Homo-oligomer: A and B are copies of this chain.
Amino acid sequence: MTVQITPAELEIMKIIWDRPGLGASEIAGALVDQQDWTIKTIKTLLTRLVEKGALATTSEGRRYLYTPKIARKAYQKTAAGQLVDRLFNGRAAPLVAQLADARGLTDEDIAELEALLGTLKS
């Protein structure tokens, strides 16, 4: 059972992945443009993420600073793996095909994918 991070919690994780070591009110500040949450809501989400083992805390005076306990890349891997397993029979190519069809790939994407395939070919 991988740690399950909900959509709302993920928004918090993204902030902390970008800037580890923030306190609750700074996270609220970073989210203000983006989410319409009160500080209370953010604190609840932070608590839940700590309970789940997704964040670690350090005390600084009477407040907590939050750092990721689950790395962004690790989470990206599980999430991508889950999607591909659940919906694409574990195969990456059809997933990319649907993405390309749904929204197109940027030139940059195409270039990066080519480079990636190059490194993978034995």
Give me the interface of A with B, judged by CB distance under 8 Å.
7, 10, 73, 75-81, 83-84, 86-88, 90-103, 105-106, 108-110, 112-114, 116-117, 120-121
A77 and chain B: residue at smallest CB distance: B102
B109 and A93 contact, CB distance less than 8 A:
yes
Q: A77-B102, A80-B99 known; A117 and B110 CB under 8 Å? A: yes
Q: How many copies does the complex hold?
A: 2
CB distance from A15 to the nearest CB of B (A): 14
- Bound complex: CA A92 to CA B106 (Å): 9
- Bound complex: CA A91 to CA B96 (Å): 11
Query: B residues within 8 A CB of A88?
Result: 76
Q: A10 touches which one: B80, B86, B114, B116 (CB < 8 A)?
A: B86
Residue from A7, A84, A112, A117 with most neighbouring chain B CB atoms (10 Å): A117
B84 and A99 contact, CB distance less than 8 A:
yes
A121 and chain B: residue at smallest CB distance: B110
Query: B residues within 8 A CB of A76?
Result: 87-88, 94-95, 98
Query: B residues within 8 A CB of A10?
Result: 86-87
B79 and A83 contact, CB distance less than 8 A:
yes
